[in-house]
Amino acid sequence: MKIKQLSLFLENKPGSLSLPCRALAQAGLNILTLSLADTEQYGILRLVVPEWERAKKVLETAGCVVKVSEVEAIEVPDRPGGLAEVLEAAEKAGINVEYMYAFTVKRAGKSVLVFRFDEPDAAIEKLQAQGVNFVGNVGLYNHLEESGIE
């Protein structure tokens, strides 16, 4: 159920964001989804890539500091209220969402969002009990391939 996410600490200056993107492109590694949060002096780039171990090595060789963490990918009904239902299930189970961001693909009326929970194992167990569908590595990559993203 868990997928690996790479997080990079970047200075907030021209060229900082293009460096890791260029390094991954030159290595033939596709970014499946990303999130960038910034402050005045720095930013955190979060990435999901199919070959995270190889991507980590490529980024480190390019001079990036890379942290690997686990996140969960959840199918969310792609309609008004779909996300609210998932968040209400998390609230009902006492689960805190630390952050989230979306993939840009849809399939059969579902979107896939990346969640970071404060207690991921408990979140998976409690949300699955409420009918929330988690997407694992293989399912996620199959989902993306079916949408034409590799």
Domain segments of the chain as ranges? 2-69, 71-146
- Classify domain 2-69 at the CATH topology level: VC0802-like (3.30.2130)
DSSP H or E stretch at residue 130: none
- For residue 44 the two structure tokens come to 């955190």
Domain 71-146 in CATH 3.30.2130.10? The answer is yes
Task: Work out the end-to-end distance of the chain between its first and last CA atoms, rounded to an integer number of angstroms.
Answer: 20
Do 2-69 and 71-146 show the same overall fold?
yes
State residue 107's pLDDT score.
67
More confident of the two residues 86 and 141: 86
DSSP string for 40-96:
SSEEEEEEE-TTHHHHHHHHHHTT--EEEEEEEEEEEESSTTHHHHHHHHHHHTTPP
Residue of 8, 26, 32 lying closest to 114 (CA atoms): 32
Considering the chain, what percentage of its residues have pLDDT values greater than 90? Answer: 53
Note the pLDDT tens digit of each residue in 4-61. Answer: 999 999 998 888 999 999 999 999 999 989 999 987 888 999 999 989 999 999 999 9
User: Which of 22-26, 73-77, 90-94, 131-135 is predicted with the least confidence, judged by mean pLDDT?
Assistant: 131-135
- Give the mean pLDDT of 74-95: 93
Q: Where does residue 2 rank: exposed (0-12), middle (13-18), buried (19+ CB within 10 A)?
A: middle
pLDDT at 135: 80
